[in-house]
Amino acid sequence: MHHHILTLAKVCENAGIKHAIICPGSRSAPLVYAFTQYTKITCYSIVDERSAAFVALGLAQQCNEPVIIIATSGTACLNFFPAVAEAYYQKIPLLILTADRPPEMLNQQDGQMIMQKGVYGKHVLGSHELLCFDENQSDFKLTERIVANAIDECQNGEKHGPVHINVPLREPLYDIPQNTLDFSYLNTEVEEFKQSIRKLPLLSEVSEAWMQAKKRIILIGQMTPNKQITSYLQKIVEADDVVVLSDIVSNQGAACFVPHFDSIIQFASEEVLNQLNPDFILSFGGPMVSKSLKNWLKKQKPSHHFRLQNESEIIDTYQNVTQAIIAEVAPYLESFHSLNIFKNQDQKTYRAVWLEQEKKFNISLQTFLQNRPWSEPKAMQQVINNLVPYTQVQLGNSSAVRWASWLGLQQSALSIFSNRGTSGIDGTISTAIGSAMAMPNQIVTLIVGDLSLFYDQNGFWQNNLPSNLKIIVLNNGNGNIFNWIDGPKKSPAQLPYFTTPHKLSIGKLCSQYGLNYLSCSEESRLEEQLKELYKPTETISILDLIFEEESNLSAIDAFKNIRY
């Protein structure tokens, strides 16, 4: 048995890591023994590496601390890559451990061996490799130092994200120590993760620009819930004339009085849009879902656009950032609010323009929904209205997250997540499963398209399925988002290759994996089926919302042409 691998596992335990996802394999046997027998870390066995990595992503997303994923040698580690990339862009800490064969065998026609060292390239915050020791020869202190540094890289002050440790291993792989091991050579404590908060620059410049501005926007991208940020935002919004535009997955909807801003910008006239043009922007957080908002902001030339972030590499999505503030968001907002520069005026002129548009669009939206038959927008609005408060929502990419944004899902009583780091459909089910595993006492609702469900169905291939996960499927049998986009529609011969029609059955999938299956194909039954969905069960429940293609596409086209 490789004793330095036991050191690796013990350092992870001492650092406070609580979860490890293990994929099957032979070369990784020492890692499996080390984590399952010599640590207090909870281990989960998941067969499919791609699903396993997204389950780890979901766990880490909720725990806000590193989660370990373990793969055997060869192409297994490549199947982690989609989730690794998503974790990198979402800034979610993962510690990736990949077993490998001895380095001298690389490219020598030895089986199950690829170039694993540095395999994730620029999509990890750090890449390391342990030394490959002969049996009974180990440098425990070197292993301890490499692993401790890697864990710290996962969650340091400037950036959170994935870190890779490649672990070459010689045979024998299955010798298990019979005696209790002595870990006295380890440091008694692993240094706690540090949050290095930089000095708060530019406060005077920001405050001066704020006071001069008349049309202020605070723009918030993807973030995990943060009560401190919410509190300071609400105080600023109450104190002065400012409009908060918070993304569907920003978890800062409490301060946003225009939940339909995505649709307002998409459907408003040029005259209205000109009234909304900002002269001051303060932005922070991750990417925004709304394509309409992105396109509109790229046309803006505000006098001041301050980008608040804790990374040194400046994010300038809309190509109009005038100055960057390198600082943690919550402390900076606290300092900014304490300046007492706000006018506390009763008449908030700029906000009134936005609120007028919000009211007008909401009237048009309700009229549209009342006059449409059973369809995705109508069903999605009813789903939104019936989401259980104080629960978590996971949104699949493509149609689900867009409908949520267009229809204004901004409930402050919900925490909302989506894999918008790379915006792929791979791993949607697995991420939601991992998230539900991390929050066993909370209902987690995943809203997802049928294609995403089938694409990641291996996420159900495990023994740890959480019964608190409820899945609502927008089932058009077609990947219909490509019917919405003008480009693919102009090429009807190629459209089947975009839409990927299928004849797969969600009911049969549920039967295969032992899941609780519900279905609905008419408006009158949806509320009843939603109540049934949220009843306690012993396994995952799936509600299959089935739409007839022609009438559904007609409703989607009508929604795209809303005018108000």
Predicted TM-score of the model (pTM): 0.85
The CA-based diameter of the chain, rounded to the nearest angstrom, is 78
Task: Using pLDDT thresholds of 50, 70 and 90, give the confidence band for residue 452.
Answer: very high
Residue 482: predicted pLDDT:
60
Residue 191 has pLDDT above 50, yes or no: no
| Range of weakest confidence among 1-15, 195-209, 317-331, 512-526 | 195-209
Average pLDDT over the chain, rounded to whole? 89
Strand order from edge to edge, sheet including 392-395: 415-418, 392-395, 444-449, 469-475, 541-546, 516-520
Q: 378: how many CB neighbours lie within 10 A of its CB?
A: 21
Residue 464: predicted pLDDT:
85
Domains and CATH numbers, the chain: 3-168 (3.40.50.970), 203-355 (3.40.50.1220), 372-560 (3.40.50.970)
* Residue-wise pLDDT tens digits, 409-432: 877 789 999 999 988 888 999 999
Angle between the N-to-C axes of helices 81-90 and 49-63, in degrees from 0 to 180, rounded to the nearest 10: 20
Task: Using pLDDT thresholds of 50, 70 and 90, give the confidence band for residue 197.
Answer: very low
Per-residue pLDDT, averaged over 213-240, amounts to 95
Instruction: Give the pairing of strands 304-309 and 323-326.
Output: parallel
Residue 514: predicted pLDDT:
97
* Residue-wise pLDDT tens digits, 493-546: 555 555 667 789 999 999 999 999 999 999 999 999 999 999 999 999 999 999
Residue 2 has pLDDT above 90, yes or no: no
Which percentage of the chain shows pLDDT scores above 70?
Answer: 89
Residue 170: predicted pLDDT:
87
Residue 493: predicted pLDDT:
58
Residue 198 has pLDDT above 70, yes or no: no
Higher pLDDT, 90 or 344: 90
Which percentage of the chain shows pLDDT scores above 90?
Answer: 67
Task: Specify whether the CB–CB gap between 290 and 262 falls below 8 A.
Answer: yes
Torsion of CA 55, 57, 63, 69, to 10 degrees: 70
Give the span between the Cα atoms of 52 and 58, in whole angstroms.
10
Total number of residues shown for the chain? 564
Residue 457: predicted pLDDT:
95
Task: Using pLDDT thresholds of 50, 70 and 90, give the confidence band for residue 195.
Answer: very low
Provide CB contacts within 8 A for 474, sequence distance 6+. Answer: 376, 379, 380, 399, 400, 403, 447, 448, 449, 450, 545, 547
Task: Using pLDDT thresholds of 50, 70 and 90, give the confidence band for residue 104.
Answer: confident
Determine the 3-state secondary structure of 45 from DSSP: strand
| Range of weakest confidence among 78-82, 343-347, 537-541 | 343-347
Task: Using pLDDT thresholds of 50, 70 and 90, give the confidence band for residue 490.
Answer: low
Question: ∠ CA(28), CA(424), CA(487), 5° rounding?
Answer: 150
Residue found under tokens 């706000």: 342
Structure tokens at 543: 């509600």
Per-residue pLDDT, averaged over 284-293, amounts to 93
Give the span between the Cα atoms of 231 and 329, in whole angstroms.
12
Residue 43 has pLDDT above 70, yes or no: yes
Structure tokens at 191: 């240094």
Higher pLDDT, 327 or 1: 327
Instruction: Give the pairing of strands 243-246 and 163-168.
Output: unpaired
